Structure 1
C-alpha cells in the first residue's frame, strides 16, 4: 500500500504487510463479473444523473417565471450533481472495474477535491432549503428572495471550496491502490489527516443531518398542531350553525396542496440524503481510524457499496422530481423527441379536495416550484 503524507505523491512511503494484496491480486477483492456489473450500473447512473439534472437546469434557465428562490436552489443542486456525475463517477467506474488507479498522481488529488467540493455544495443546498421550509412553515417568515438565494449560493460555493481545497494542496493526501475503489485516504496515524476526515464527516453529514432533522420534526409538529386546530374550529363552527354531513363548510378556500406536496418532496430528498450518506460517512471514519478494518478483506466490498450509495444520491434527486412533480414530467416530455416518448402525455390533474391533514399555515408564494 502506498501511503502519501506530503505535498507530492513522489514522497510516498511503502507499508508492507502480509495481509495486504498487490493491485494485481484483484480476484481476492471482488469477483470480476460483479465488478464489471457494478461499473456498468455506474455508467447507467452517470447517464440518468446527467440527463435528469440537466433538464432541471434547462427548465430554470429557459423559463424566467420558474426562477424563484427555491427553483434557483434546486438548479444549483442539480448542477452540483451534474459535475459529480461527469468529473468523478467515470473514473470511479474505471477503478472499480480494474481495481487500480490508471490516471496521474496529480489528478488523484484533484479528484478528491472535486468529489468533496460537489458533495459539500449539494448538502449545503439541501440544508438551505430545509431551513427555508422551517422559517416558512414554523416561523411563518418567507424571507428567501431570488436575490438572497443567489447570495447564499455564492457563499455555499465559497465555503465548500475552502473545506475541500486542503485535500489538493497537501493537508489531506490522496491515495489510490488496489484496495480502494476511488482515490481516497486510507488508514493514517497523522492527527492532521484524522482531524480533516472528522471535519469532512461533520460538515457533510452530521451537522446537516442534525439541522434538517430538527427542522422537519418542527415542521411535522406544526402541521399536526394546525390540523388539530382547523379540525376543532370547523367542527365547532358546524355545530354552532346546526350543519351536519355534506352541509359543513370547507375549512379553507385557498388550495395549499402545492405547498404540502413541495414540503413532502423536500422531506423525501432528506431521507434519500440520509440513506445514501450514512454508510459512506461511517466507512470513511473507520478506514482512517481503524487499521484492522482497512486491512481486512471486507474493506473493499464495503467501501465499494458505500461509495455506490453516495453516488446514487446524484441520480436519486431527478427520479424523485419525475415522480412527485408534474411540471418536471411535462418538461421531460418537451425535451424528448416525439419518436422517443414511450408514454402518452399526461393530462392535467383534476382539482383535488384538500383534507385538513394536507394543510399548514404559511405565507403565499407567487411563483411556482419546479
Structure 2
C-alpha cells in the first residue's frame, strides 16, 4: 500500500506498522485467477469501447437522431468510453502484475478520472429518469435539445468539481498488491471520511433515491392509465343486436386500440439501465465506505477478493449499457450491422422496395362477393 501526501512532489511513505499487517497478494488470489480476470477485463474494454462508440457515431452522423434523449444517451456512452480507455486498462495491468507501475502522479490522476466519468454517467441517468417522470407523470415535455446540451455541460462541471479534490488536496491511498487501482483507503481524518461520504452520496444514494421515486411514480401512472383504458373500452363497446335495432348497422362500434407495449418500451429500457446501475454500484459503494471507516476490514485478507469483485461490477456498467441497447433498440442493431463489413453478413440485406409488403396467400383467399365485384 502507498499512502501519498497532499503534494504530488513529495515521496510516498509506507508506515511500517501497516506494512507488517498487510497480507501478501500471493495468499489472497492465485496467479491463474488474476490473469483470467485480467483477460476478462480486456474483453470488457473491447465491448465497452465498440458498443458505446457506435452510439456516439449514430448521433453524430445522423442529424435526425439528435433529439434530447439521444444526446443524453450519447453523453452516457462517451463517459463509458473514457472509463474504458483511461481507467480499465491500467487496472487490468496492475491486476495481472500486482504492482502499480505508472507513477504516483498518475495514481492521483487515475482516481480523479475514475470518479469523474462515473459521476458523469450517473448524472446523465438521473437527468433521463427525471425527464421520463415529467413526461409520464406530470405530462410536461420540457426537455429540448438545447436544454439537454445545457444540462450536459452543467453535469460535466459538477462532476469535475466533486471529483477534483481527490487529486488536489486529499490523501490518496493505493495498495499495489491488494487492490489494482488507486483508492481512498483507510484514514482517521475527518476530511477524508467526509469526502468519501460525499462521493458515496453523490454517486449512489441520492441518484438511487431520486430514480427509485421517479420509477415508482411512473409505474403507478402506467398502471392507472392501463386500467382506465381497459374500463373505457368495456364501457364503450355496444352489442351488435342493439346496434341493429337502432338502425346503425352502417356505423362502426367505438373501439380503443392503444399499443401500450409500444408506448412503454422506451421507459422499460431506461428502467433496465437503472436496475443495472443499482446492481453494479451498490457493492462498490459499500466497499468504499468500509475501506475508509474500518481499519480491520481494510487490512483483512477478505478485502482483496471483495474489492476486486466490487470494482469489476462497477466497470461492468460500461459494458452493460450497449448490451441493453442492442437488446431493446432496433435502430441500434441496424446501425451495428451497418458498421460490420458486408462480407461478414450471414444474410444479405434486402432493399426496402423489394421487400414483400403482403402475404402471398392473401392473393388467393377471396370470397365470392369480392370476386364478382372485381
**TM-score interval w.r.t. the shorter chain?**
0.7 to 0.9
Match in the other structure for 1:44: 43
Structure 2 unaligned regions, length at least 5: 244-251, 358-374
For residue 20 of structure 1, the aligned residue among 15, 19, 22 is 22
* Structure 2 CA distance for aligned equivalents of residues 137 and 350 of structure 1: 37
Counterparts of 1:291 and 1:190 in 2: how far apart (Å)? 13
Q: Secondary structure at the match of 2:288?
A: helix
Give the whole-Å Cα distance in 1 for the aligned partners of 2:356 and 2:322: 24
Distance 1:282 1:151, change over 3 A: same
2:141 equivalent to 1:142: yes
Match of 1:338 in 2: 342
Q: Structure 1 residues 279, 343: CA separation in 2 closer, same or farther (over 3 Å shift)?
A: farther
Residue range with higher mean Cα deviation, 174-183 or 306-315: 174-183
- Looking at structure 1, the residues matched to 350 and 87 of structure 2 have their Cα atoms a distance apart, in angstroms, of 35
Aligned partner of 2:202 in structure 1 is 203
Asked if structure 2 preserves the Cα contact closer than 8 Å seen for 1:55 and 1:331, the reply is yes
Residue matched to 2:4: 4
CA–CA distance in structure 2, aligned partners of residues 346 and 217 of structure 1: 43
CA deviations on 1:70-100 (whole Å, 9 max, x unpaired) are 0000000000000000000000001111121
Provide the rounded CA distance (Å) in 1 between the counterparts of 2:42 and 2:194.
33
Q: How does 1:207-356 map to 2 (within 5 A)?
A: 207-239=206-238, 249-252=254-257, 257-342=261-346
Q: Distance in 2 between matches of 1:344 and 1:56?
A: 23
- Per-residue deviation, 1:29: 2.1
The Cα of 1:172 is off from its aligned counterpart by: 4.2
CA displacement at 1:240 relative to structure 2: 7.4
CA spacing shift, 1:239–1:216, aligned 2, 3 Å: same
Aligned-residue CA RMSD (Å)? 2.3
Query: Deviation at 1:161?
Result: 0.4
Residues 128 and 182 of structure 1: CA distance in aligned 2, closer, same or farther (over 3 Å): same
Q: Give the corresponding residue for 2:72.
A: 73
Shift of residue 182, structure 1, vs aligned partner: 0.6
Residue pair 2:6, 2:168 contacting (<8 A) in 1 also: no
Query: Could you list the runs of 5+ residues in structure 1 that have no partner in the other structure?
Result: 352-370
How many Å apart are 1:12 and its aligned residue? 3.5
Partner deviation per Cα, 1:206-233 (whole Å, 9 max, x = no partner): 0000000000000000001111111111
| Corresponding residue number in structure 2 for 1:184 | 183
Task: Judge conservation of contact 1:181–1:303 (CA < 8 Å) in 2.
Answer: no
The 1-side partners of 2:25 and 2:347 are apart by 44
Please give the alpha-carbon distance, in whole angstroms, between the structure 1 residues aligned to 2:351 and 2:291.
Answer: 51
CA drift at 1:293: 0.5
The 3-state SS of whatever aligns with 1:3 is strand
> In the TM superposition, what is the alpha-carbon distance from 1:308 to its structure 2 partner?
0.3
Q: Distance in 2 between matches of 1:100 and 1:107?
A: 14
- Paired position in structure 2 for 1:157: 156
C-alpha separation in 2, matches of 1:287 and 1:30: 19
Q: Do the aligned partners of residues 350 and 187 (structure 1) sit closer, same or farther apart at CA in structure 2, a change above 3 Å counting?
A: farther
Q: Which has the larger radius of gyration?
A: 2
Label 1:325 to 1:248 Cα distance change in 2 as closer, same or farther (>3 A). Answer: farther
In the alignment, the residues of structure 1 paired with residue 48 and residue 56 of structure 2 have an alpha-carbon distance, to the nearest angstrom, of 12
TM-score calculated relative to the size of structure 1: 0.88
Distance across 2 between alignment mates of 1:93 and 1:347 = 44
Please state whether the residue corresponding to 1:100 is helix, strand or coil. coil
Q: TM-score when scaled to structure 2?
A: 0.87
